[in-house]
Amino acid sequence: MNETNGGGEVTTTRSAMAWSWRREVPMLTIILGMFVASALAWSHVDLPIPTHWNASGEVDGYGGRFERLLLFPLIALGLYGLLVVLPKADPARANYESFASSYGWIRLGITAFMGLLHGFVVATALGANVNMFLVFPLAIGVL
């Protein structure tokens, strides 16, 4: 973005929404960690894998490796991509500058939430006794 200072000189300032490794690396690291955790767990999970819990905290749905180990990382990657592109595609894109910092924190929060849930999903797939009925509301509260 070019601006003119008081002396008539044109200076270049960086947009708050411009790509920044410092802002993007934490989110990309979380997503990469999700894929790594899935790859490491892939051959160690027993099938079928619990995929859904009812209101009483009892397992009432099962699935395979793809659904249980790859779905969360793929959704997180898709959300990440969508939230990167959204400010560029939105007709009101100029407004994003006014809340760029908050938007970055929202993006990081969503990515961290997905990573946290995926961690519990992988732990459950590996046989850990995780009370998803307790974990999910706590994760929502932290978000």
> 31 burial class (0-12, 13-18, 19+ CB within 10 angstroms)?
buried
Q: What is the pLDDT of residues 2-26, one digit of tens each?
A: 455 555 555 555 566 676 778 899 9
Count other C-beta atoms under 10 Å from residue 28's C-beta.
13
SS3 of 57, please?
Answer: coil
* CA–CA distance, 72 with 91 (Å, rounded to integer): 29
38, 54 Cβ separation under 8 angstroms: no
Q: What is the pLDDT of residues 74-119, one digit of tens each?
A: 999 999 999 998 888 877 778 888 888 888 899 999 999 999 989 9
Q: What is the pLDDT of residues 25-78, one digit of tens each?
A: 999 999 999 999 999 999 998 888 777 778 777 778 888 888 889 999 999 999
| Pure H helices in 1-143 | 21-41, 65, 71-89, 100-125, 132-142
* CA–CA distance, 113 with 32 (Å, rounded to integer): 14
